[in-house]
């Protein structure tokens, strides 16, 4: 898988098309997490790290830019439902316990199908004591181009991103050691001005908001217009993940069941209801090849788009799958159906 990262990331629905088009598909849905992480970070290595301020779930504020030049920074993006994240937590905790004065270790939960309550339970079970940040709107994941969980980001003491990976192995340990090396005499600490796409939180559209029109590229190479002239029915956006139903069956069975119900409801209702439909897939652990595999496995006939950058999910405030957003013929959001309510889809559309 090769990802072409658009830096800086765009914020604003009118610019999202460019971000979605940043995914370059190798058509291989079986790529390892390490290769996905390396591909996602290829254009970031050697660049000055974003100057972001994070807040932990315990209320501590950490300005990453204040650490650059003084310490190396190790960020680990993870989720409580992620099996390799759990497997790697002892290594991560051990690294934190030995961080010393030249390394800062911070855990960043990606905020996808997760909650602070679940994080606290997880902390207690695994004995996690490092600072934990909850990326509730995905803006940190966007700033560091996160595509898998876990995804390791190592920033050297010179303020530059030195390593991005997925595995807890010798390569990671070597990168951590190298990042802690003092900044050479005469070498300036890398700095950069923050841009809106890297650090600012995207606007979240809510019920009652009118959405600007955009032409979103679909998996079959066409364009889906959010607003279609002359069409008087609703437009239904189904936010989903191609692995939700299968992967989360053991780690998040309730979410998995909701994803199955949503898929079945959408397939049934879309055949008999006069509406325009688009399924929007999260770019986390998903490539166009993964989306094609999902389409073929479940015989999905509705148009699909891959939100590789996560911009659509952030703009619509979606952090849990499945979520359904319904627009009227004036491109105004008239209803939001969250994960636990997907069985009401037919009833909601009938009432509209």
In this prediction, residues 138-143 reach a mean pLDDT of 94
Confidence of residue 331 (pLDDT cuts 50, 70, 90): very high
Of 6-15, 54-63, 221-230, 252-261, minimum mean pLDDT range? 6-15
Share of the chain above pLDDT 90, in %: 77
Q: What is the pLDDT of residue 26?
A: 47
Q: What is the pLDDT of residue 268?
A: 92
Q: What is the pLDDT of residue 294?
A: 97
Q: What is the pLDDT of residue 342?
A: 86
Q: Considering only residues 21 and 124, tell me which one the structure prediction assigns the higher pLDDT.
A: 124
- Whether 304 and 326 have beta carbons less than 8 Å apart is answered as no
Distances (CA, A) of 145 to 8, 153, 201, 293: 10, 10, 15, 23
Q: What is the pLDDT of residue 185?
A: 62
Confidence of residue 14 (pLDDT cuts 50, 70, 90): very low
pTM beyond cutoff 0.75 = yes
In this prediction, residues 83-90 reach a mean pLDDT of 97
Q: What is the pLDDT of residue 232?
A: 86
Q: What is the pLDDT of residue 22?
A: 46
Confidence of residue 173 (pLDDT cuts 50, 70, 90): very high
pLDDT tens string 197-252: 344 566 789 999 999 999 999 999 999 999 888 888 899 999 999 999 999 999 99
> Is 70 exceeded by the pLDDT of residue 187?
no
> Is 80 exceeded by the pLDDT of residue 9?
no
In this prediction, residues 159-185 reach a mean pLDDT of 94
DSSP state of 74: E
Query: What domains can you pick out in the chain, each with its CATH number?
Result: 31-199 (3.40.30.10), 215-351 (3.40.30.10)
Q: What is the pLDDT of residue 35?
A: 95
d(CA 250, CA 271): 31
* Average pLDDT in the chain: 88
> Is 90 exceeded by the pLDDT of residue 134?
yes
Q: What is the pLDDT of residue 31?
A: 77
> Is 60 exceeded by the pLDDT of residue 1?
no
> Is 50 exceeded by the pLDDT of residue 25?
no
Using only C-alpha atoms, what is the Rg of the chain? 21
Q: What is the pLDDT of residue 249?
A: 96
Q: What is the pLDDT of residue 204?
A: 86
In this prediction, residues 118-124 reach a mean pLDDT of 97
Helix (H, G, I), strand (E, B) or coil at 345: helix
d(CA 206, CA 137): 14
d(CA 238, CA 303): 10
Q: What is the pLDDT of residue 230?
A: 82
Burial class (CB in 10 A: 0-12, 13-18, 19+), 84: middle
> Is 70 exceeded by the pLDDT of residue 13?
no
pLDDT tens string 264-292: 999 999 987 789 999 999 999 999 999 99
- Whether 309 and 283 have beta carbons less than 8 Å apart is answered as yes
d(CA 45, CA 154): 10
- Tokens found for residue 306: 């891959």
């Amino acid at each position: 898988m090769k990802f072409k990262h658009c830096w800086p990331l765009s914020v604003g629905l009118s610019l999202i098309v460019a971000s979605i088009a940043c995914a370059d598909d190798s058509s291989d849905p079986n790529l390892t997490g390490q290769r996905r992480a390396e591909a996602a970070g290829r254009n970031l290595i050697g660049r000055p790290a974003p100057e972001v301020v994070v807040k932990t779930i315990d209320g501590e504020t950490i300005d990453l830019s204040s650490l650059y030049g003084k310490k190396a920074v190790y960020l680990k993006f993870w989720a409580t439902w992620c099996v390799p994240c759990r497997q790697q937590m002892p290594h991560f905790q051990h690294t934190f316990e030995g961080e010393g004065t030249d390394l800062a270790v911070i855990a960043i939960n990606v905020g996808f199908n997760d909650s602070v309550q679940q994080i606290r339970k997880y902390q207690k079970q695994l004995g996690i004591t490092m600072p934990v940040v909850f990326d509730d709107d995905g803006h940190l994941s966007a700033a560091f181009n996160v595509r898998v969980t876990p995804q390791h980001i190592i920033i050297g003491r010179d303020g530059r991103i030195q390593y991005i990976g997925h595995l807890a192995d010798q390569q990671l340990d070597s990168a951590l050691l190298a990042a802690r090396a003092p900044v050479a005499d005469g070498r300036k600490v890398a700095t950069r001005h923050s841009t809106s796409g890297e650090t600012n939180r995207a606007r979240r559209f809510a019920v009652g908001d009118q959405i600007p029109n955009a032409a979103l590229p679909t998996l079959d190479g066409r364009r889906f217009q959010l607003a279609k002239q002359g069409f008087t029915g609703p437009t239904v956006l189904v936010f989903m993940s191609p692995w939700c139903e299968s992967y989360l069956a053991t780690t998040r069975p309730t979410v998995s069941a909701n994803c199955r119900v949503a898929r079945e409801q959408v397939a049934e209702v879309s055949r008999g209801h006069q509406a325009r439909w688009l399924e929007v897939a999260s770019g986390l652990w998903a490539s166009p090849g993964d989306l094609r595999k999902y389409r073929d496995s479940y015989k999905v006939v509705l148009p699909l788009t891959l939100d590789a950058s996560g911009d659509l999910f952030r703009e619509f405030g979606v952090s849990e799958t499945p979520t359904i957003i319904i627009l009227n013929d004036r491109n105004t959001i008239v209803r939001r159906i969250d994960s636990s309510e997907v069985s009401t889809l037919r009833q909601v559309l009938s009432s509209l």
